[in-house]
């Protein structure tokens, strides 16, 4: 299996796959600390993710074609929920968005989405819990180091394409948070668990060995049959997805559950139907970005290109293709708008008009 681990200088995941016989490469703009430059692609990860012919630091060329698996660790500084407090500034008692940091967050989102849509059969993107303001796709699962033999808490999200969810391998009792949350809470009171004391960003972001081993063991041994099953129900075969009336389905579940008037007398089956209805209510909806990808991959839509024309106060944006409008959210006397990459109305690609 040809594997690329994007934005990894430690080579922890790369070496785990190499130990199991896979042709794995790490890629980063930094020199590798994992002592294997012959496995490291030094440069822009988005270029390496395109596949084809890549060059490692020993100047050897490798023909990889399309990657079988891409595991990506895009920078989280401007996207994570933990850093959301730095997105706003208090001036004369009023809260205002810090425009420069917000723009960096939008750039970070673009970089994240390039990895999520990489040229690979199977994709895993790893990041902390993101800030909702940047509207990243819904993550597939949350994992913690203590589920893989390390006694620490560090909530990590995985966005998976054509991959099964990572299964815990060795659950232990967590003793402390891996990343420090500071010495005080927002109300000024002292934190009981302040986390590890180090501040080095490299140490905080390195992948735990137990998690790397689980990835290599579980994702490196997917059988052809399993891959077919995942593909047929997963993101890469989006033509198999059906758009349904979720409200009607939830209503049908609730009507079927009304076998007794009293909640105390309801059968287990009735309770299960109500639970199913609640799951439908809480299910994520297809984002405009994903809806456009679905249409393109099914061959149902012609790709159009446009851009958002934003008003001077960011109160609204207008699609240059179909004139559809999006609106900013009022916030502390001004407006905050996060443009879609695709127009929700006509599906045009809004990342810049074609020449």
Per residue in 77-103, pLDDT (tens digit) is 777 776 666 666 777 777 666 777 778
pLDDT confidence of residue 248: 75
CA neighbor of 215 nearest in space, from 29, 79, 19: 19
Whether the pLDDT of residue 250 is over 80: the answer is no
- Tell me if 39 sits within 8 A of 58, measured CB to CB: no
Among the ranges given (41-55, 57-71, 107-121, 196-210), the one the predictor scored with the smallest mean pLDDT = 196-210
What per-residue confidence (pLDDT) applies to 184?
47
In the numeric block, which tokens belong to residue 301? Answer: 């839509």
CA–CA gap between residue 203 and residue 292 (Å, rounded): 38
Give the pLDDT score at 25: 97
Round to whole Å and give the CA distance between 117 and 158: 14
Record the tokens describing residue 297, joined without a space: 């991959």
**Assigned token pair, 62:** 């490798």
Q: What is the pLDDT of residue 144?
A: 93
Tokens for 347, please give them: 């599906």
pLDDT averaged over every residue in the chain: 77
Q: Does residue 253 surpass a pLDDT of 60?
A: yes
Nearest residue to 128 (alpha-carbon basis) of 103, 154, 151, 156: 156
Whether the per-residue pLDDT at 197 is higher than 70: the answer is: no
pLDDT at 108: 87
- Residue 300: pLDDT over 70: no
- Distance, in Å, from the CA atom of 355 to the CA atom of 347, rounded to the nearest integer, reads 19
Residue 7 has pLDDT above 70, yes or no: yes
76 pLDDT band, cuts 50/70/90, is confident
**Nearest of 26, 128, 25 to residue 75 by alpha carbon:** 128
- In this structure, are strands 23-28 and 40-42 parallel, antiparallel, or unpaired? parallel
Tokens, residue 117: 């849509």
Query: What does the pLDDT read at residue 237?
Result: 37
Looking at the structure, give the CATH architecture of the domain made up of residues 2-233.
3-Layer(aba) Sandwich (3.40)
Higher pLDDT, 248 or 155: 155
Does 8 score more than 70 pLDDT? yes
pLDDT higher at 7 or 277 = 7
pLDDT of res. 235: 43
Residue 317 has phi, psi (to 5 degrees) of -130, 145
Who has greater pLDDT, 329 or 179?
179
- Domain locations in the chain? 2-233, 246-282, 286-355
> Rounded to 5 degrees, what are φ and ψ at 286?
-75, 125
Tokens of 183: 């010495």
Radius of gyration in angstroms for the set of CA atoms belonging to the chain, rounded to a whole number: 23
């Amino acid at each position: 299996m040809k594997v690329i681990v994007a934005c990894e200088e430690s080579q922890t995941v790369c070496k785990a796959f190499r130990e199991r016989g896979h042709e794995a490469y790490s890629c980063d703009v930094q020199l590798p600390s994992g002592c294997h430059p012959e496995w490291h692609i030094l440069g822009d990860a988005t270029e390496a993710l395109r596949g084809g012919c890549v060059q490692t630091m020993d100047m050897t060329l490798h023909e990889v074609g399309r990657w079988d698996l891409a595991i990506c660790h895009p920078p989280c500084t401007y996207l994570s929920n933990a850093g959301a407090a730095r997105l706003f500034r208090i001036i004369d008692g009023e809260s205002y968005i810090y425009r420069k940091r917000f723009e960096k967050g939008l750039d970070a989102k673009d970089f994240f989405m390039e990895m999520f849509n990489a040229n690979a059969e199977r994709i895993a993107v790893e990041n902390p819990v993101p800030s909702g303001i940047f509207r990243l796709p819904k993550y597939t699962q949350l994992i913690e180091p203590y589920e893989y033999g390390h006694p620490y808490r560090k909530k990590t999200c995985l966005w998976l394409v054509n991959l099964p969810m990572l299964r815990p391998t060795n659950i232990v009792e967590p003793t402390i948070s891996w990343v420090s949350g500071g010495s005080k809470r927002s109300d000024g009171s002292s934190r009981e668990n302040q986390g590890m004391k180090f501040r080095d960003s490299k140490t905080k972001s390195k992948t735990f060995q137990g998690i790397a081993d689980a990835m290599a063991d579980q994702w490196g041994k997917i059988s052809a049959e399993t891959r077919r099953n995942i593909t047929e129900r997963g993101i890469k075969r989006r033509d198999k997805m059906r758009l349904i009336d979720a409200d009607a389905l939830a209503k049908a579940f609730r009507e079927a559950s009304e076998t007794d008037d009293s909640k105390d007398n309801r059968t287990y089956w009735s309770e299960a139907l109500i639970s199913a209805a609640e799951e439908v209510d809480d299910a994520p909806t297809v984002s405009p970005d994903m809806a456009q990808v679905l249409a393109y991959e099914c061959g149902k839509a012609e790709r159009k290109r446009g851009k958002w024309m934003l008003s001077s106060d960011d109160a609204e944006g207008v699609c240059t293709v179909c004139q559809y409008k999006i609106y900013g959210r009022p916030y502390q006397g001004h407006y905050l708008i996060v443009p879609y990459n695709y127009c929700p109305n006509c599906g045009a690609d809004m990342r810049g008009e074609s020449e």
